Amino acid sequence: MMKRFKWIWFTVVILTAVILTACTPATSRPASPPQPAATDTPQPTIAATPTPLPQEAPTLPPQETPTLPPEEVPTLPPQEEVTSPEEGWTRAQYGDAWDIAYPSDWTINDAGAGEGALQLQGDYGGYRYEVTFSYPIGIGAQSLEAWVEEQLAPLSPDQRAAVVVSDVVVGGTPAKKVMNLPNSAGASPVHHVYIWRSENKNPRLITIAQTDGQPVDAAAMEALLDQFIAQVQP
């Protein structure tokens, strides 16, 4: 009997809850928040930025580059470079003093080669000559010009008037060719070449004299001397 009562009571409670739920008004239920209606929002219009036109650079007048005057460089008289002796000539080197060429049939006395002194003799062009290469000692002059002037100082006015001086280059070194000097051994004139100091050489001297007793042909002697000069190497 008790169990039946409990079952009836439980049933009544369930039905009561169902009835109350069904009778609850809709306004008491939480409502979903209203959704905003979709609207077409106008997009802002972006104005097109005009592209600037390229600016032409102003044309400037060309600038004139100042032209500097060329520097004056002292030049030595031209000298023909000789790498081998002329036909019929022999080349020989004597220590640091001389690297020369001479006619192959000439005789050479090189006993003083250690001191830079050489003596050569032979015939050339119908004349007989003696050519010496030497290292003079006691040169106190401070320049090539002063050295030559010292050598010419003892001459008489007539002897000095006959002398002809010209600039030459011997083995890359400045020198002066002095023609028609009086010969200490006689009246026949001789030609000298005064070579100034170089990097590793003291002043040097070349002389040529005609020794056959004939009237001296100064022009022929000078031409032979020029051949010797041209073939002296540094």
Residue 11 maps to a domain: no
User: What burial letters (b/e) apply to 195-218, b meaning 16+ CB within 10 Å?
Assistant: bbeeeebebbbbbbbbbeeeebeb
* β-pair partners for 131: 120, 208
Q: Report pLDDT digits (tens) over 210-228.
A: 999 999 999 999 999 999 9
Compute the distance between CA of residue 56 and CA of residue 189 in angstroms, rounded to an integer. 83
Residue 17 maps to a domain: no
At residue 76, the pLDDT reads 44
At residue 9, the pLDDT reads 56
Q: Report pLDDT digits (tens) over 91-107.
A: 999 988 999 999 999 99
Angstrom distances, CA of residue 155 to CA of 46, 180, 217, 231: 109, 12, 21, 31
Q: 116-120: long-range contacts at Cβ-Cβ below 8 A with a sequence spacing of 24 or more?
A: 116/204, 118/94
Residue 211 maps to a domain: yes
Of 74, 50, 29, 47, the C-alpha closest to 167 is 74
Per DSSP, 216 falls in state: P
Residue 98 maps to a domain: yes
Residues spanned by the domain of 98: 92-138+155-230
CATH of the domain at 211: 3.40.1000
Residue 52 maps to a domain: no
The segments of the chain whose pLDDT lies below 50 read 26-34, 36-39, 41, 44, 71, 73-83
Compute the distance between CA of residue 133 and CA of residue 201 in angstroms, rounded to an integer. 13
Residue 22 maps to a domain: no
At residue 131, the pLDDT reads 98
Residue 189 maps to a domain: yes
At residue 184, the pLDDT reads 73
At residue 82, the pLDDT reads 43
Give φ, ψ of 228 to 5 degrees. -65, -45
At residue 199, the pLDDT reads 83
Query: How many domains, the chain?
Result: 1
Residue 212 maps to a domain: yes
Compute the distance between CA of residue 75 and CA of residue 89 in angstroms, rounded to an integer. 30
Compute the CA torsion angle 162, 168, 185, 125 (nearest 10 deg). Answer: -100
Task: Give this prediction's pTM.
Answer: 0.64
